[in-house]
Amino acid sequence: MDHKPSVSDHLQNLFQNQAESSLIVLVNALRLFFIVFMVIYLMVCLFSITDKLFSFIMAQGALDFLSMKILLTDALFTLIVLAIVKALFINDSFSYALTFLEIAFVVIIRKLILLETIPEENWTLLILGLISTSFFILIIYIHNLKRRWDNLDKQEKNKS
């Protein structure tokens, strides 16, 4: 039995294709809007940290530990925003996942810096330290694997 597509099937497929392509255009437009928003936000973060740095230097000369801690946490937050903006341009899912692993590492390091070194926080500091260490080792391992895979791909291309 041969089933011939009817006019209603053609209309349904046409409508479905049109709806899908309209949604794709909408999602791409929203993605571009979000990218522009995040780039502007990144510029604001950079201006803010630069302003804080100059303000601290003008007020104190040589920076004290508290001022450096504030600048470091702001710089790490800016680094997180920068990594998120970078991730918006990645099309490769492997690199995308690696970028978010790197973002998670920076978030944990920022949390470690912000935690007070009081006895009640010792276990939290230890656990976050172990997690950040394992993330760091994993990131280095994955980068080495990726470099090795790229070298193998280059060798295979050279053989061809």
Domain ranges of the chain: 8-159
Three-state secondary structure string covering 57-74:
HHHHCCCCHHHHHHHHHH
Between 11 and 104, the more confident residue is: 104
- Ranked by mean pLDDT, the top range of 9-13, 42-46, 91-95 is 42-46
Q: How many angstroms separate the CA atoms of 22 and 35, rounded?
A: 20
Tell me what the mean pLDDT of segment 137-153 comes to.
91
Q: Tell me, yes or no, if the pTM score tops 0.75.
A: no
